[in-house]
Amino acid sequence: MVMMKAYVFAFLFSIVNWANAYAQLSLKLDSVIQQYVKTDEPGIALLVENKGDIVYKKGFGMANKEAHTLIQPETNFRMASVSKQFTAMGVLLLEKAHQLSFDDPLSRYFPEMNPKVANKVRIRHLLTHSSGIIDYEAVMDPHGQMQLLDQDVYALIKDADSTYFEPGTQFRYSNSGFCLLALLIERISKQSFSSFITKRIFEPLHMNSSRVYEAGANIPHRAMGYARDARGNIRFSDQSLTSATKGDGGIYTSLQDYLKWSEAIRKHTLLNLQKSLARLHFSIPQAPGHDYGAGWFYTDPTNLALFHSGSTCGFSTFVIHIPDKQLLLVYFSNIADNSEPFREILGVLAAEGFAYPTDIFSLHRLTM
């Protein structure tokens, strides 16, 4: 009986210590974010998971400054390049169903494309940013009046007769490649990219509020995008010429739904991502020790640490996921180029012993 009482006391004592530690962490994170976010301006949503425990999940500032709606855990942010992991998962699901091979040339699915490029570039090259396909941003009309769609990107690049380098030999971050992957999904599945992602990813994972962006379509709990001018004043900046493409950056999701996504990755709900990465990996010369595949920067797939960031005209996003340690960090902001708060948040978490990678920003620069 005495031993049982001692055991119970020790257990309760550990619970109290755990709760106190997380309460102190919460206060420190609150303090960092509040330095950067005014209550009447756009802001930040942050989620921290440690060993399966949600130790922090809060929103600060305005989701929609004009409508005076607050950022909450269910607020939907534009993911920008964090969207690429969803596009890639769509391709992985088709490969799992034997509807394509990573080594298929693009010419099999895009017969209109210049064969000098389409016969050499493989699907795996698109999934690893090693295709060398021309950047659509380099050939688009910067003064155009209509937003580009994925099909417009294809029209801009399909006649190019060369790549920046021999496919599979170098790493060059490519939004063009992921727009092509969205079109590839449409051509193979015979349905729209939005419908495929919704039916094959969002619905099975109960990501009920997540959406693929389409102009005029309803996005529940939507955050609008903003930026700071040269004087630091907030201005509305929700859309640009390149923010209607889907495959490279068109997903909207929330802390609530992203947590479901990360759990699905950890539990292999849709497929075993770790095994897919082992077959797809491409080592990044500019970042020794890191690979890219299927919408993720990552370390050795046998000891997986996943990272990606996103940056667009009105949003900044960072996610870090270490599945085996049940460690997750999700940072969404509806302010463009708003990475400094995330840098400080990483510093606080590192001081508290959270084992996040330390070279995040060197990888982030590769996406710019």
pLDDT in tens, 202-219: 999 999 999 999 988 999
Give the confidence band of 357 by pLDDT, cuts at 50, 70, 90.
Answer: confident
The alpha-helical segments, DSSP class H, found in 37-157 are 84-96, 115-118, 123-127, 136-139, 150-157
C-alpha separations of 18 from 12, 24, 218, 341 in Å: 10, 10, 41, 26
C-alpha closest to that of 359 among 343, 341, 337, 339:
343
Give the confidence band of 190 by pLDDT, cuts at 50, 70, 90.
Answer: very high
Q: How far apart are CA 69 and CA 339, in angstroms?
A: 23
C-alpha separations of 194 from 150, 210, 254, 311, 313 in Å: 12, 11, 17, 21, 22
**Residue 334 pLDDT > 80:** yes
**Residue 20 pLDDT > 90:** no
Q: How far apart are CA 168 and CA 357, in angstroms?
A: 27
Q: How far apart are CA 329 and CA 22, in angstroms?
A: 15
Could you tell me the sign of the dihedral formed by the alpha carbons of 293, 296, 300, 301, in that order? negative
As a whole-number percent, the residues of the chain with pLDDT over 90 amount to 84
C-alpha closest to that of 48 among 33, 61, 37:
33
Give the confidence band of 17 by pLDDT, cuts at 50, 70, 90.
Answer: very low
**What is residue 354's predicted lDDT score, i.e. its pLDDT?**
83
Give yes or no for a contact between 82 and 251, defined as CB atoms under 8 angstroms apart: yes
Averaged pLDDT of the chain: 92
**What is residue 9's predicted lDDT score, i.e. its pLDDT?**
42
The mean pLDDT value for 246-275 works out to 97
Token duo for residue 148: 């580009």
**What is residue 113's predicted lDDT score, i.e. its pLDDT?**
98
Give yes or no for a contact between 364 and 343, defined as CB atoms under 8 angstroms apart: no
The mean pLDDT value for 250-272 works out to 98
Token duo for residue 216: 């005029």
The mean pLDDT value for 64-72 works out to 97
Token duo for residue 72: 């909450």
- What is the separation of C-alpha 42 from the centre of its chain, rounded to a whole number of angstroms? 20
**What is residue 11's predicted lDDT score, i.e. its pLDDT?**
37
